[in-house]
Amino acid sequence: MEHQTVRTSPAGSARPLSAAYDTALLDLDGVVYAGGAAITHAVESLLTAREGGMRLAYVTNNALRPPEVVAEHITELGVPTEASEVINSAQAVARLIAEQHPEGSKVLVIGGEGLRIALRERGLVPVESAEDEPAAVVQGYGGPDLQWSRFAEASYAIARGVPWYASNTDLTIPSGRGIAPGNGAAVEVVRIATGAEPQVAGKPLPPMHRETILRTGAEHPLVVGDRLDTDIEGAYNGQVDSLLVLTGVTDGAQLLAARPEHRPTYVDADLRGMLTGQPEVVAEGDGFRCGGWTARAGESLELDGEGEPLDGLRALCAAAWTHAGAGVCELDSGKVLARLGL
């Protein structure tokens, strides 16, 4: 797959992003809500974007909850949502399995109800034991109460040569109490036990992006997320634009050090960024200017000026990303970011 030119600066947009793109492909945890509660400004931003004509779709690697349950949750937060507007990695991995195994095939499920529902939709039969002679094993996030014995059941089947699939490999998942182990951590348990490698469907890999486009019909989508290694890399792999919001797991230092496939098209504080244009970052002398800030990179990162802190971050991104080859991204950026309060 040919990828876009390596990004060396956040892009600008004269139009509000909600007008420049037909569909927002929104991550949930860390973007719309955290610990079940709506993130500040999320509800009103989503309602305003939709009223302006932008379609909303919610794209999550969490395979535990069925789309109907997720839609009810978003609706309760204040954004009326249909189940058809929720796309999860369970659906993506179920399609992947169905393309490789005939209808009626048994699939050993290590995960929650969301996986079972998605498999049945594809004509596959969920089973619970390696002794049920499954044609495949599928592993997805099963919540904090998933029993350790389920990992052993997967290992028994995989050791017999049964193909192994994973909905996603996110190592962590946000919770109301902090960061908890995600499905990727559980996948590592089975990998250690078996030495096998699963086929993975979820973000940032192509099966998830394909599932999203098939279900939404988006022609000019904007991926909106908080994680560089799933949301932003997924947009990169799908060759579509992305908006990183700083309401989840990614902080300023991680953004400055981002590898090319982890560099978002746009950066903003929260979902209000969908409703506005984005300022241009321009080269100026040996540095980059955005708003009232100028940033340079050499043996260290330098920042001069004042004004909107996010403009300073955008200028710093341009300086760091342009000079990544010189090792600037390995520098401690805490001091310069502290000036912006980021």
What are residue 31's phi and psi, to 5 degrees?
-120, -55
Tally of residues, the chain: 342
The rounded distance, in Å, linking the Cα atoms of 55 and 46 is: 10
Instruction: Find, among 187, 199, 196, 1, the residue nearest to 100 by Cα.
Output: 199
Catalytic residue among 27, 226, 229, 231: 27
Instruction: Find, among 42, 94, 28, the residue nearest to 227 by Cα.
Output: 28
Residue 339's CB is within 10 A of a number of other CB atoms, namely 14
- Estimate to the nearest angstrom the gap between the alpha carbon of 13 and the chain centroid: 22
Q: List 289's β-bridge partners, or say none.
A: 282, 294
Q: Which residues contact 120 (CB under 8 A, 6 or more apart)?
A: 126
Catalytic residue among 22, 29, 251, 332: 29
Q: Which residues contact 274 (CB under 8 A, 6 or more apart)?
A: 16, 17, 18, 24, 45, 49, 54, 222, 224, 243, 268
- The reply to whether 270 belongs to the active site is no
Residue 80's CB is within 10 A of a number of other CB atoms, namely 11
For residue 137, the SS3 value is: strand
- The reply to whether 27 belongs to the active site is yes
Biggest alpha carbon–alpha carbon distance for the chain:
68
Q: Which residues contact 218 (CB under 8 A, 6 or more apart)?
A: 22, 23, 25, 55, 57, 212
The rounded distance, in Å, linking the Cα atoms of 41 and 317 is: 25
The rounded distance, in Å, linking the Cα atoms of 280 and 285 is: 16
What are the residue numbers of the active site? 27, 29
